[in-house]
Amino acid sequence: MKSESNHNAKEVEVDGLPSLRQGTPPILVESDISTGTDSLRSISDDLVMCKIQPTTSNEVFDPRAKEEEEEFERANSARKKKVSFHDTKKNACHQRVVSFDKVEIHYHDIILGDNPDCVEGPPISIDWGYFDKVTLSIDRFEHTRRGKRRKGEKNLFISSLQRLKLLKGTGKYKSSEIYDRMDEVQSIRKERQNSCRGLVWKRWMKLLHKKQTKQKELQDCLEDSEERDSPGRDAINENRIEVLGVPSPRPIPQLVGSDVSADTPQTISTGCSHEITSFPDSCLVPYVAGSEQTSEGDKTEARKVSFSDSSKTPSGHRKTVSFDKVEIHFHELILGDHPDCIDGPPIGIGNAFGEKHVSVDHFEHTRRGKRRKGEKNLFISSLQRLKLLKGTGKYKSSEIYDRMDEVQNIRKERQNSCRGLVWKNRMRNLFQPKVK
């Protein structure tokens, strides 16, 4: 038995036989290994097993033709070949080689596959277990093999009709089972395509969201600058009144009051829907009573405080409301339900109140502390709100924490609704045809 091996050579030829690295590798390679099991594991990727299903004796070769095989063995007994594969991985010392002179062929059954890459027709595969095997020498295998080795995807392609015939020829599968498997494979392939499209759309939506966020920030800045430059708002902010350190509502768009000389002053509704973020133990909400007159009217002798309204009369004069009395309402502190409270329990005031009437001079004289301005000074921390609620003695800790969970759930539902509307509008704008 003669072997020729060159450690630097990439391909091997033995007495004119074509190299096993050229073209298609042998069907299954299993050899008498002289270098040990460690060498076999190192080149396991080079030993390829092609599992096939035999059909007739007239195909590639007939391994059971004993007479012809014995005759061939006698003619070639003097020279037996051994073929070597060179491993591409190199050790620090030498290059590992596996030599063999026999080929073992396994016969496997064809079964119905499940590969979603099969675009048309049923996918086919081979069973794990084999039902027969044949061992041949390399010379015998090369002598009896018919036809050229197929190269390229076109030569290896099996049409959908051929695959369907192969499955029906096995007699194991009904037509309904085959078509059901085709539907399953198609649905899996569609799901993968939708996932890929979703990733692409997600990237585009992120870019679109960034652009819209920048535009919104720019628009908000412009609106804030316009509001600061508004003279009507400035006049209102200068004349706001706060009771015992409690900020008054935001600029009053329209005030309606009664005459100063009236015995029972009429309260003025501010129409403000903003939540009071800071107040003492009992919230004091000011209501004013006064007389409505234009800027050209006669001034009264009593000391009055005026609010300027941004709206104007039909004659072009700006309206003002003057008053000399303040009506104070005392409300109880209660557990709120406002979902804008991100951290801690929300707080509010009850509907019932006790009232008190004082003059403007007395109110300014007895008012404690300076008027707090800015969001930081009006902010109440979650710990302070929790202490205020527990200080009332009306609520248990379990009730407070349950309300916090309810508020958080409401806030999440609103956020999801807003996101759904935003995505719906974006998709509508993207896919809506432009009208010229």
The pLDDT of residue 340 is above 60: yes
Among 156, 152, 178, smallest CA distance to 166 is for 178
Q: Could you tell me the pLDDT band of residue 317, with boundaries at 50, 70 and 90? A: low
Q: What is the pLDDT of residue 228?
A: 61
Strands (DSSP E) along 196-267, which ranges?
none
Sign of the Cα torsion 200, 203, 209, 210 reads negative
**DSSP string covering 236-262, please?**
HHHT---BTTBPPPS--S------TT-
Q: What is the pLDDT of residue 313?
A: 56
The pLDDT of residue 436 is above 70: no
The pLDDT of residue 14 is above 80: no
Q: What is the pLDDT of residue 123?
A: 92
How far is the C-alpha of 264 from the C-alpha of 429, rounded, in Å?
58
How far is the C-alpha of 67 from the C-alpha of 145, rounded, in Å?
17
How far is the C-alpha of 320 from the C-alpha of 309, rounded, in Å?
6
Q: What is the pLDDT of residue 310?
A: 52
Residue found under tokens 């409401």: 410
> Residue 423, SS3?
helix
For the residues 195-214, what does the mean pLDDT come to? Answer: 80
Query: Is the Cβ–Cβ distance between 98 and 33 less than 8 Å?
Result: yes
> Residue 312, SS3?
strand
Q: Could you tell me the pLDDT band of residue 410, with boundaries at 50, 70 and 90? A: confident
Q: Could you tell me the pLDDT band of residue 108, with boundaries at 50, 70 and 90? A: very high
The pLDDT of residue 226 is above 50: yes
The pLDDT of residue 37 is above 80: no
Q: Could you tell me the pLDDT band of residue 57, with boundaries at 50, 70 and 90? A: very low
- Two tokens, residue 260: 């100063």
The pLDDT of residue 110 is above 70: yes
pLDDT digits (tens, 9 = 90+) for 353-391: 788 888 888 887 777 666 666 667 777 888 888 888 888
Buried b (16+ CB within 10 A) or exposed e, 394-425: eeeeeebeebbeebeeeeeeeeeeeeeeeeee
The better pLDDT of the pair 5, 204 is held by: 204
Q: What is the pLDDT of residue 74?
A: 62
Q: Could you tell me the pLDDT band of residue 299, with boundaries at 50, 70 and 90? A: very low
The stretches of 229-261 forming alpha helices (DSSP H) are 231-238
How far is the C-alpha of 287 from the C-alpha of 270, rounded, in Å?
9
Q: With pLDDT > 90 as the criterion, what percentage of the chain qualifies? A: 6
The better pLDDT of the pair 275, 433 is held by: 433
Q: What is the pLDDT of residue 230?
A: 54
Q: What is the pLDDT of residue 68?
A: 63
The better pLDDT of the pair 227, 436 is held by: 227
Angle at 204 between CA 200 and CA 209, to 5 degrees: 145
pLDDT digits (tens, 9 = 90+) for 135-170: 989 888 888 877 777 777 777 888 889 999 999 988
The better pLDDT of the pair 223, 131 is held by: 131
For the residues 84-101, what does the mean pLDDT come to? Answer: 68
Query: Is the Cβ–Cβ distance between 190 and 182 less than 8 Å?
Result: no
Query: Is the Cβ–Cβ distance between 348 and 217 less than 8 Å?
Result: no
Q: What is the pLDDT of residue 333?
A: 85
The pLDDT of residue 296 is above 80: no
Where is average pLDDT lowest: 102-116, 206-220, 239-253? 239-253
How far is the C-alpha of 178 from the C-alpha of 167, rounded, in Å?
8
Where is average pLDDT lowest: 178-187, 308-317, 421-430? 308-317
What's the whole-number average pLDDT of the chain?
Answer: 66
Q: Could you tell me the pLDDT band of residue 304, with boundaries at 50, 70 and 90? A: low
Q: Could you tell me the pLDDT band of residue 93, with boundaries at 50, 70 and 90? A: low
Q: What is the pLDDT of residue 158?
A: 87
How far is the C-alpha of 72 from the C-alpha of 142, rounded, in Å?
12
Among 109, 69, 101, 72, smallest CA distance to 2 is for 101
How far is the C-alpha of 115 from the C-alpha of 358, rounded, in Å?
86
Q: What 8-state DSSP symbol labels residue 269?
A: -
Q: How far is CA 290 from CA 235, 248, 302, 327, in A?
A: 18, 17, 11, 11
Contacts of 230 (CB under 8 A, 6+ apart): 310
